[in-house]
Amino acid sequence: MRWKINVLYLTLYLVTGSAMFFSCNMEKKSTNSIIPAYDTDEFKNFYQHFSTDSIFQLEHVVFPLEGVKAPVDSLDIPDPNFRWNQEDWILQREYDDMEGTFSREFIDLHGLVIERISDASGKYSMERRFGKLSAGWHLIYYREMGMY
């Protein structure tokens, strides 16, 4: 009989201890929030520099750059092989919401930062994608402002 009581206490102890261990471990994981790449100081500094320094910008664009040129009209079909070249590159400036006409959102997709800017109607939009390469952050994709 005493043996059964010891087994019962041992089982109860193991179950309680396991529950406490896993609950503490789960609580610890939930308090460790992951900061999106676009919210890091490193990306913010890069983005500010990219938007204000033309030489820095040209050094941080992967040419020929994958992307999409804005359609001329509704019959215009985007070229899937289109690439932006350095010679034709129009420098990107700081974001301006034009007194609320445009809005911007950032998305972190596994360390890839996607920036989307669109007008209030949602008809006109642009997209830029930034990736962190061995030499730091770079623009790796650009879809020109247009009706898509």
pLDDT, tens digit (0-9, with 9 covering 90-100), for 22-77: 555 554 444 568 999 999 999 999 999 999 999 999 999 999 999 999 998 888 88
Share of the chain above pLDDT 90, in %: 70
| Section 91-108 average pLDDT | 96
- The per-residue pLDDT for 146 is 94
Name residues whose C-beta falls within 8 Å of residue 111's C-beta, 6 or more positions apart in sequence.
37, 131, 132
CATH top-level class of 37-147: alpha beta
> What span, in angstroms and rounded, lies between the C-alpha atoms of 113 and 130?
5
pLDDT reported for residue 101: 95
Determine the pLDDT at residue 47. Answer: 98
Residue 131 has pLDDT above 90, yes or no: yes
Is the model more confident about 5 or about 145?
A: 145
Distances (CA, A) of 8 to 5, 11, 12, 20, 21: 5, 5, 6, 18, 20
* Cα gap 89→60, rounded to integer Å: 12
pLDDT at 93: 95
Q: Provide the whole-model pTM.
A: 0.76
Question: Distance between CA atoms of 127 and 145, rounded to whole angstroms?
Answer: 8
The more confidently predicted of residues 1 and 67 is 67
Q: Note whether 140 and 131 are within 8 A (CB).
A: yes
Average pLDDT over residues 94-115: 96
Contact 127, 53 (CB under 8 A): no
Q: H/E element holding 18?
A: helix 2-31
Domain residues of the chain, as ranges? 1-33, 37-147
